[in-house]
Amino acid sequence: MDWLLATLMDSIKGYLWPLFRIAAMLMVMAVFGATTTPARVRLLLSVAMTFAVAPMLPPMPSGELFALSSVFISAQQVLIGAAMGFVSLMMIQIFVLTGQIVGMQTSLGFASMVDPGSGQQTPAVGNFFLLLATMIFLAVDGHLLMIRMLIASFETVPVSMEGINISSYRALAEWGNYMFGAALTMSLSAITALLLINLSFGVMTRAAPQLNIFAIGFPVIMICGLLILWLTLEPIMGHFDEIWQAAQLLMCDISRVQCKVN
């Protein structure tokens, strides 16, 4: 009877702990972690992936399932999966922040709509960049690469009390600096162009004070903003490729997987 109980507990551990890591990533990562994706769908995907990969994973650590050590092991799995998913989420938010900066500078930020990712009211330009980045992410099979990297992490970071390194936590925190820097870099051309437009309106107002700058400048800035937005879309694939490579390197650092990013 004891042998049967021990075998049953080992079988449960072989599926439960991988489920924690896989489900944590799917609950946080871009596209799958959005509020528009039902939690039931994410749970079913997590269970299906767990049953598919669990037989190929390394042996689980020995010990009692209902023990304090098992709780710490479960927490480590959740942290690993959530950290990898958080990187992809922040990568998508770079484009959202870029759209918000461009929208506010071009006076297009007055139009707002519900963000499908967070459920909050955001400028429509930011939502446009969000949908564009999401489509590119799916087109380059970014979600499949993340799942493959997560499965490979069971070899490099096996299920145990040991989790993510301190240096990886620091790199994950510094990813916020990279997010704001990358968003500012992408929107810098639009900011510079609009600064020149505003300076030209300042010169016109100085030369002809009778001109109503608010009646003339607002529609002109909006039209120029649409033109600048159109020109900003041309190099977006290059920006996405650079940001996606940086995200892959960070996820490789977290999972300790040897990655070759071109």
Q: Which of 15, 100, 2, 91 is nearest to 49 (CA)?
A: 15
Would you kindly state where each structural domain of the chain is located, as residue ranges?
2-255
The reported pLDDT for the residue numbered 75 is: 87
Run means of pLDDT, 10 residues per run, the chain, 262 residues: 63 82 89 80 89 84 75 87 89 87 72 60 77 89 88 86 83 86 85 81 72 70 79 83 89 81 58
Q: What is the pLDDT at residue 107?
A: 67
pLDDT at 114: 60
So what's the pLDDT on residue 116? 58
What values do phi and psi take at 91, rounded to 5?
-65, -45
Structure tokens at 136: 């590119």
Token pair recorded at residue 40: 């039931």
Model confidence, pTM: 0.81
Instruction: Check residue 121 and give its pLDDT.
Output: 65
Helix axes 142-156, 68-105, angle to 10 degrees: 150
Predicted confidence at residue 113, as pLDDT, reads: 60
